[in-house]
């Protein structure tokens, strides 16, 4: 006996992946952990210096790509710096770390910390793009004591110094 | 190092649409593969190897190389998956090219596809990045590109209206392409009136999310006479990948390299040297560029050597990149009109091949001898290919 042909559009079936979670456990490594414990316990930044070109990277990485050199020298880096470039994020999207919509709007910037040669992408406390400009000085604002967990989010945002 | 001469002899693409709920991934892939095999005039059994790519995180289904073999035509054949972020499609093209240029395979099928409707694209993109140093604050491609746009405007004086010109141009070109997703005869004011997604990038400045697939048949010089279509010869390829973390590109622009987009500039220098291009605006007849957002259509012209640094806005506003200009960019409508991400880079190559073959229909640019195709993605990765009508004297690997 013949069966009918494929269903019309209104009957297409779509399934959701549902509320299932498949957790992962990622290792920061001994150097990455050092960076994160310094923020958690001391509210300070540390970087790592390339033995060949002398550049200081924040956050941690173990190999200077251009020099292909292993890095081991940890150095202090300021919690202040300047904005290199910025945006104000206003579109909704799912934060895969939480599974929830990220609250918007928020200021977002590439930050050049004093003493570092790389940049950190982080939040800034301004949502009017007319009130931010490249070169603005910023300072890290940390989560309160007891609330820091050893994450980049232990830095709540960078405050523009006016 | 010398490489074998390779020609593109068939292309197939699905219509690029916002959602293809009527098909599964393998069915979508099969649509493009059947079209490519028909276009090349060959049977599945004549294909020697398959290269396929997408990004698993957009569908949440891993191993397309395995589950798609019925539809991809890879059943019982060598198959290799390639995934390089936004450049996936162009990397798939280069991978298929390498297969043939090596002399090990005569007829290789390249496939790129994506069903971006099946996930939150930004959320999925974020999962491609480092969970400690990038993910906590990264907001995907839109916000990352917005940082680039701010920097570009602050350093060159380019405006949001300059960028909007690109969005208008490409979607107007898309009106000539029956396969394109977003087609519109908009004005700069229309783009300017769309809401900000991530200042200074507006909805109208961004590529859409698309479901679609593309397949391309590559042939060795020895086998090229088997095919009815004139070959689009690969004259050269180059690619560069320079960065690890999402903040690195800005470092390279401002501190390390001091140039706009070192990955694209270095790939371009190598490619043009291999192919013998000294004046791209004069020598390249058409370009299919992976422009993920409007500002890229200004800045990339500079990194591709079409004008001096900061000269992008003046070049595009002169009309030279419109249909009828000296080097039309994206006659297909490009990525600003269709972006099924794993297919996108391969579509640039397919469209460049159609232009070189003189088979691009209403979107054909007259007398194309050399065409440029690019892929962009990952952490500012750059893939570039030049296709030509005439058989190259020698191809440099």
Q: Which residues of B touch A40 (CB under 8 A)?
A: none
pLDDT: is A117 or A1 the higher one? A117
pLDDT at B380: 82
φ and ψ of B235, to 5 deg: -90, -25
Average pLDDT rounded to a whole number, residues B165-174: 98
Report the percentage of chain B scoring pLDDT > 70. Answer: 97
List CB contacts of A45: < 8 A, sequence separation 6 or more: A35, A38, A39, A58, A76, A77, A78, A79, A113, A116, A140
Chain B CB contacts of A133 under 8 Å are 154
The residue-averaged pLDDT of B307-321 equals 96
Say yes or no to pLDDT of B354 above 70. Answer: yes
Asked if B251 and A119 come within 8 Å (Cβ–Cβ), the reply is yes
Phi/psi for B79 (5° steps) reads -135, 140
Q: Which residues pair with B14 in a beta bridge?
A: none
For CA atoms B226, B232, B234, B238, the dihedral sign is negative
Position A46 pLDDT exceeds 90 = yes
Q: Give Cα separations from B18 to B115, B207, B338 (angstroms).
A: 9, 12, 9
Residue B151 is nearest to which of A24, A85, A95, comparing CB atoms? A85
Place of tokens 């599964």: B24
CA distance B281 to B306: 5
Please list every residue in chain A whose beta carbon sits closer than 8 Å to the beta carbon of residue B60. 17
pLDDT exceeds cutoff 60 at A8 = yes
Nearest-angstrom CA–CA distance, B233 and A75: 53
Contact A84 B135 (CB under 8 A): no
Cβ contact (<8 Å) for A117 and B255? yes
Q: How far apart are the CA of A44 and the nearest CA of chain B, in angstroms?
A: 16
**Cα pseudo-dihedral B2, B4, B9, B15, rounded to 10:** -50
Percent residues over pLDDT 70 in chain A? 100
Can you spell out the DSSP letters for chain A? ---PPPPPGGG------TT---------HHHHHHHHHHHHHHS-EEEEE-TTT--EESS--SEETTTTEE--EEEEE-SEEEEEEEEEE-S--EETTTTEEPP--EEEEEEEETT-SS-EEEEES---GGG--TT-EEEEEEPPTT---SSGGGEEEEEE--
The pLDDT tens digits of the residues spanning B237-285 come to 999 987 788 888 766 555 444 567 888 999 999 999 999 999 999 999 9
pLDDT in tens, B30-49: 999 999 999 999 999 999 99
What is the predicted pLDDT for the residue at B256? 45
Tell me which chain B residue has its CA closest to the CA of residue A123. B137
Closest by CA position to A159, among listed A87, A79, A96, A99: A79
* Distance, CA of B283 to CA of B55 (rounded, Å): 34
Q: Domain B6-120+211-226 sits in which CATH superfamily?
A: Thiolase/Chalcone synthase (3.40.47.10)
pLDDT of residue B201: 98
**Three-class SS of residue B111?**
strand
pLDDT band at A151 (very low <50, low <70, confident <90, very high): very high
pTM of the model: 0.96
Alpha-carbon distance of A64 to A47, in angstroms, equals: 12
User: What is the band of A127 on the pLDDT scale with cuts at 50, 70, 90?
Assistant: very high
Q: Can you give the pLDDT at residue B9?
A: 98
**Is beta strand B107-115 parallel, antiparallel or unpaired with respect to B49-53?**
parallel
DSSP structural state of residue B118: G
Q: Six-digit token pair at B327?
A: 């080097």
The minimal CB distance from B199 to the residues A122, A129, A133 is found for A129
Determine whether A13 is exposed, middle or buried from the number of CB atoms within 10 Å of its CB (0-12, 13-18, 19+): exposed
Residue B153 has pLDDT above 50, yes or no: yes
SS3 B291: coil
pLDDT, one tens digit per residue, over B95-151 is 999 999 999 999 999 999 999 999 999 989 999 999 999 999 999 999 999 999 999
The whole-number average pLDDT for the span B147-166 is 94
Q: Indicate the average pLDDT of chain B.
A: 95
Range B122-208+234-388: architecture per CATH: 3-Layer(aba) Sandwich (3.40)
B122 in reach of chain A (CB within 8 A): yes
Contact present, B209 and B18 (Cβ < 8 Å): yes
What mean pLDDT do residues B168-187 have?
Answer: 98
Residue B91: how many other CB atoms lie within 10 Å:
27
Whether residue B211 contacts residue B116, with contact meaning beta carbons closer than 8 Å, is answered with: yes
pLDDT per residue over A53-97, tens digit each? Answer: 999 999 889 999 889 999 999 999 999 999 999 999 999 998 888
- Report yes or no: B253 and B259 within 8 Å, Cβ to Cβ: yes
CA atoms of B69 and B66, how far apart (whole Å) = 6
Whether the per-residue pLDDT at A147 is higher than 80: the answer is yes
Query: B379 falls in which pLDDT band (50, 70, 90)?
Result: confident
Q: Tell me the mean pLDDT in the region B144-159.
A: 93
Question: Are B321 and B331 contacting, i.e. CB atoms less than 8 angstroms apart?
Answer: no
Tell me the pLDDT tens digit for each residue of A93-116: 988 888 889 999 999 999 999 999
Contact call for B137 and A122, based on CB within 8 A: yes
> CA B245 to CA B71: how far, in whole Å?
36
Q: What pLDDT does B27 receive?
A: 98
Calpha distance B319→B324 (Å, rounded): 8
> What's the confidence (pLDDT) of residue B396?
83
- Provide the residue ranges of all domains of chain B, joining segments of one domain with +: 6-120+211-226, 122-208+234-388
B55 pLDDT more than 90: yes
DSSP B104: S
Cα(A34)–Cα(A71) distance, rounded to whole angstroms? 14
Does the beta carbon of B199 lie under 8 angstroms from any beta carbon of chain A?
Answer: yes
Q: Where are the alpha helices (DSSP H) in B73-230?
A: 88-101, 121-126, 140-156, 160-173, 188-192
The 8-class DSSP code of residue B304 comes to T
pLDDT of residue B257: 47
In this structure, the number of other CB atoms found within 10 A of the CB of residue B319 comes to 14
Please determine, for residue B298, whether its predicted confidence score (pLDDT) is greater than 50: yes
For residue A141, what are the CA distances in angstroms to A76, A79, B250, B273?
17, 9, 23, 50
pLDDT score recorded for residue B250: 67
Residues of chain B with C-beta less than 8 angstroms from the C-beta of A60: 133
pLDDT of residue B248: 81
Residue B339 tokens, joined: 């972006």
């Amino acid at each position: 006996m013949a069966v009918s042909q494929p269903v019309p559009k209104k009957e297409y079936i779509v399934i959701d992946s549902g509320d299932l979670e498949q957790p992962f456990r990622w290792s920061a490594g001994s150097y990455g952990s050092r960076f994160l414990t310094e923020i958690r316990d001391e509210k300070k930044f540390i970087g790592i210096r390339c033995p060949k070109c002398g550049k200081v990277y924040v956050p941690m990485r173990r190999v200077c790509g251009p020099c292909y050199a292993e890095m081991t020298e940890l150095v202090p880096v300021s919690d202040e710096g300047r904005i290199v470039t910025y945006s104000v994020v206003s579109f909704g999207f799912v934060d895969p770390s939480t599974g929830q919509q990220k609250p918007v709007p928020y200021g977002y910037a590439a930050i050049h910390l004093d003493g570092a040669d790389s940049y950190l992408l982080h939040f800034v406390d301004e949502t009017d793009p007319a009130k931010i400009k490249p070169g603005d000085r910023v300072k890290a604002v940390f989560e309160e004591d007891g609330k820091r967990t050893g994450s980049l989010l232990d830095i709540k945002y960078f405050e523009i110094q006016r | 190092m010398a490489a074998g001469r390779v020609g593109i002899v068939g292309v197939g693409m699905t219509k690029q649409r916002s959602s293809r709920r009527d098909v599964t991934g393998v069915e979508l892939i099969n649509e493009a593969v059947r079209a490519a095999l028909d276009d090349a005039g060959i049977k599945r059994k004549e294909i020697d190897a398959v290269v396929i790519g997408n990004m698993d995180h957009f569908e949440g289904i891993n191993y397309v190389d395995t589950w798609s073999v019925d539809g991809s035509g890879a059943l019982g054949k060598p198959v290799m998956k390639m995934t390089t972020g936004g450049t996936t499609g162009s990397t798939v093209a280069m991978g298929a090219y390498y297969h043939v240029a090596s002399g090990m395979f005569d007829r290789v099928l390249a496939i790129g596809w994506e069903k971006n409707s099946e996930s939150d694209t930004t959320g999925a993109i974020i999962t491609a990045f480092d969970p400690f140093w990038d993910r906590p604050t990264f907001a995907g491609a839109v916000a990352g590109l917005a940082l680039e746009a701010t920097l570009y405007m602050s350093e060159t004086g380019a405006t949001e209206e300059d960028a909007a010109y690109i969005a208008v141009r490409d979607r107007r070109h898309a009106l000539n392409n029956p396969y394109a997703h977003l087609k519109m005869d908009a004005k700069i004011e229309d783009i300017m009136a769309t809401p900000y997604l991530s200042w200074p990038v507006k909805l109208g400045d961004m590529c859409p999310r698309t479901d679609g697939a593309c397949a391309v048949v590559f042939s060795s010089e020895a086998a090229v006479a088997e095919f009815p279509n004139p070959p689009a010869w690969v004259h050269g390829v180059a690619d560069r990948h320079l960065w690890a973390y999402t903040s690195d590109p800005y470092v390279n622009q401002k501190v390390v390299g001091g140039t706009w987009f070192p990955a694209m500039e270095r790939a371009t220098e190598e490619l043009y040297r291999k192919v013998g291009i000294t004046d791209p605006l004069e020598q390249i007849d058409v370009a299919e560029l992976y422009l993920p957002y409007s500002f890229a259509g200004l800045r990339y012209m500079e990194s591709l050597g079409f004008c001096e640094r900061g000269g992008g806005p003046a070049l595009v506003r002169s009309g030279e990149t419109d249909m009828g200009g000296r080097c039309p960019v994206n006659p297909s409508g490009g990525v600003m009109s269709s972006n099924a991400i794993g297919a996108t880079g391969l579509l640039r190559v397919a469209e460049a091949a159609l232009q070189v073959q003189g088979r691009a229909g209403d979107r054909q640019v007259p007398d194309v001898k050399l065409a440029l195709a690019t892929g962009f993605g990952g952490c500012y990765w750059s893939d570039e290919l030049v296709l030509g009508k005439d058989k190259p004297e020698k191809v440099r690997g």
